[in-house]
Amino acid sequence: MELQYRYYQRNTINHSLDNFEYNERECICLPTGSGKTVIFAGLCAELIQRYPKLKIHIAVHRVELFNSTLEAFKKINVYAAKVDRSVKMKPIANITVCMAETLHRRLTKKHSSWNVDDVGLLLIDECHLGDFFKLLPLYKKIRGFTATAQYVRNVGQSLSDYYHTIFVPTTISTLINEGHLCSARTFAPSIRLGRNDVKTKGDDYDMTDMGNKLSDIKFIEQVVNYYHKYKGQRCIVYNSSVKHSKLVTEALQQAGCPCHHLDADSTNRKYILDWYNKTDGAWICNVGIATTGTDLPKTNIIMVNRLVKSLNLYLQICGRGSRIWESKNTFLILDMHGNCLTHGEWSDERDWEKLFYQKRKKGKEGVAPLKQCPSCEAVVPIQTKVCQFCNHVFENAANEKEVVEYDPILVEYTKVKQKAETFIKTAVDRNHKLFSVIYKARDYYYAQLEAGKINEEGFRNNIYIVAELYYKEQGHDKMNIGHKKFIEKFIDDFLHSKLPQDIKDQVAEIYSPQAVNVIQHETSDIF
């Protein structure tokens, strides 16, 4: 059987083939539901055709991903050996699919017959996860696939610390517009747990504490009420702890809901997932299972019944409902505790290239301002005048209060955009170029920085947004790498000039003449 590729799948394979000899470690960012296993299979098949002696290892972290990857190779009649803990012998095959932990043990165990000297490529699914990082030093050439090219474990690190380049073939909004993914409607109930009401543990929430608080009867009853409202539709519920999930499951079952619970220790995982796919109106309550590698296209509703600190995890969860199925072209996100007010909506455009290189920082992200419809609880942009879901008319849309839960000192995109339009109009009217625009933006936002209205991150983000909007005004889709480097250096140089002399001396060596020359050459067209 020959695989039928969508255009972006074909482009991704071609890109990987063309750059196989040059790039050592590349991150490929594709949305959930875009068909990464198809790309895996097609890429491996064509690499083997081009390099018949090439050995490829594919590492996954979930049983579901393990099985779906093997199935993709079967469909195109390409043999791929499978290695899990039950397989003891090193397989003789061009392509080997492995569980990550098993692969690492085989490669590092003393006197093992396994080695990577004859392995020309490692492919990783969900490469943003820390499970795979210990494999990276063992291989020379790596391609990592992820839906969220952002590293979230350690403050001060980025995914670019582990991969050299990034390739972004398409976006969620593009796939929705082209009919490859379902669009989403997002609702956030007014009765919810506050983000400051839960203890933290390391870089995440304390799941036990969260589970105990979410086990309050008012939150359980709210889940049951939504079951009665959407009875007959398939739903995946993402809970906080095993105890919490079992309580929600029990309450739903008592209300007549066909519902099962899943967690990492569930021995009947395959049975429950098969039951879900075959049963109309089925619900699954889970903890940490149905996030990656689980293909449940009949899902109508995603219920995020917990707080989610990680943008990566939030997008993975919501993306489980995005697959097209028969007459299904939209799905519902019931964001029970308002995560979208921190992370933005699932389908929002995100600059993954920027996030790929961005170091993780403490604190919250700035998102496009949102508000909540008082009638149907839909989450809509702040400027909305009439709710598209229930036709509620907002009395004063311009002065509507934002229901955001992020630090107000960070950038608010809508406000910046309005100010940027003033800068851009002046520049266009006078035939000025980018350099003039960012000078005006710099002076304006530095005054805000000094006044304490924004912080340094807000200052950087605001100038970047102004530059990006100006570039779009000139008819371009987005800024190229040279322009981005120019903006970053422009900001760094300016902030550096404001430092005391003793600090300047300490960081003076950051910029070499060679680096400056490269940046000026790449951005010469903007002056």
In eight-state DSSP terms, residue 113 is S
- The residue-averaged pLDDT of 425-454 equals 72
* pLDDT at residue 512, rounded to an integer: 42
Exposure string for 406-431, b = 16+ CB within 10 A, e = fewer: beebbbbbeebeebbeebbeebeeee
CA neighbours within 13 Å on the CB side: how many for 385? Answer: 1
> What is the helix (H) or strand (E) element at residue 521, kind and residue range?
helix 513-522
Q: What are phi and psi of 125, to 5 degrees?
A: -100, 135
User: Is the confidence at residue 487, as pLDDT, over 90?
Assistant: no
* pLDDT at residue 489, rounded to an integer: 79
In eight-state DSSP terms, residue 264 is T
User: Is the confidence at residue 430, as pLDDT, over 80?
Assistant: no
User: Is the confidence at residue 450, as pLDDT, over 60?
Assistant: yes
Q: Which residue has the tokens 């068909």?
A: 35
Structural domains of the chain, with CATH: 7-171 (3.40.50.300), 176-349 (3.40.50.300), 413-526 (no CATH)
Query: To 5 degrees, how large is the angle CA 275–CA 278–CA 282?
Result: 70
Neighbours of 445 (CB within 10 A): 23
* pLDDT at residue 464, rounded to an integer: 78
> What is the helix (H) or strand (E) element at residue 16, kind and residue range?
helix 7-18
Pairwise pLDDT comparison (120 vs 506), residue with the higher score: 120
- The residue-averaged pLDDT of 28-46 equals 89
* pLDDT at residue 499, rounded to an integer: 57
Query: To 5 degrees, how large is the angle CA 20–CA 22–CA 23?
Result: 80
Query: CA-CA distance, 48 to 13, in Å (whole number)?
Result: 13
- Per the structure block, which two tokens stand in for 112? 């093992």
* pLDDT at residue 485, rounded to an integer: 75
CA distance to 223, 377, 449, per residue, from 390 (Å)? 21, 10, 41
* pLDDT at residue 403, rounded to an integer: 41
- Per the structure block, which two tokens stand in for 274? 């098969």
In eight-state DSSP terms, residue 442 is H
What Rg value do the Cα atoms of the chain yield, rounded? 25
Query: CA-CA distance, 122 to 142, in Å (whole number)?
Result: 5
* pLDDT at residue 285, rounded to an integer: 95
Q: Which amino acid is at 164?
A: H
Pairwise pLDDT comparison (388 vs 40), residue with the higher score: 40
- Per the structure block, which two tokens stand in for 364? 């919250």
User: Is the confidence at residue 508, as pLDDT, over 70?
Assistant: no
- The residue-averaged pLDDT of 399-408 equals 39
Average pLDDT, the chain: 79
* pLDDT at residue 418, rounded to an integer: 62
> What is the helix (H) or strand (E) element at residue 28, kind and residue range?
strand 25-29
* pLDDT at residue 404, rounded to an integer: 38
Q: What is the pLDDT of residues 154-205, one digit of tens each?
A: 556 788 888 889 999 999 999 999 999 999 999 988 888 988 889 887 777 8
pLDDT band of residue 434 (cuts 50, 70, 90) is low
User: Is the confidence at residue 423, as pLDDT, over 70?
Assistant: no
The full length of the chain comes to 527
User: Is the confidence at residue 296, as pLDDT, over 70?
Assistant: yes
* pLDDT at residue 224, rounded to an integer: 95
Least confident of 70-79, 229-238, 339-348, 371-380: 371-380
CA distance to 83, 259, 381, 412, 456, per residue, from 491 (Å)? 50, 54, 30, 19, 10
User: Is the confidence at residue 253, as pLDDT, over 80?
Assistant: yes
- Per the structure block, which two tokens stand in for 354? 């920027």
Query: CA-CA distance, 465 to 411, in Å (whole number)?
Result: 10
Q: What is the pLDDT of residues 200-222, one digit of tens each?
A: 877 778 888 999 999 999 999 99
Query: CA-CA distance, 263 to 291, in Å (whole number)?
Result: 11
Query: CA-CA distance, 304 to 337, in Å (whole number)?
Result: 8
Least confident of 204-218, 454-468, 471-485: 471-485
Contact assessment for residue 188 and residue 372, using Cβ atoms and an 8 Å cutoff: yes
- The residue-averaged pLDDT of 5-9 equals 91
Query: CA-CA distance, 501 to 400, in Å (whole number)?
Result: 46
Query: CA-CA distance, 322 to 324, in Å (whole number)?
Result: 7
Contact assessment for residue 333 and residue 172, using Cβ atoms and an 8 Å cutoff: no
Percent of the chain past pLDDT 90, that is, above it, reads: 28
> What is the helix (H) or strand (E) element at residue 242, kind and residue range?
helix 242-254
In the sheet with 95-99, reading across from the earlier edge strand, the strands are 81-83, 95-99, 56-60, 121-125, 142-146, 25-29, 165-167
Neighbours of 50 (CB within 10 A): 10
User: Is residue 252 classed exposed, middle or buried when 0-12, 13-18 and 19+ CB atoms within 10 A define those classes?
Assistant: buried
CA distance to 92, 133, 269, 270, 297, per residue, from 83 (Å)? 11, 19, 20, 19, 28
Percent of the chain past pLDDT 70, that is, above it, reads: 76
User: Is the confidence at residue 35, as pLDDT, over 70?
Assistant: yes
User: Is the confidence at residue 101, as pLDDT, over 50?
Assistant: yes
Q: Which amino acid is at 7?
A: Y
Q: What is the pLDDT of residues 326-379, one digit of tens each?
A: 888 899 999 999 898 888 889 888 888 888 888 766 544 444 455 666 666 666
Intra-chain end-to-end CA distance of the chain, in Å: 54
* pLDDT at residue 504, rounded to an integer: 43
pLDDT band of residue 227 (cuts 50, 70, 90) is very high
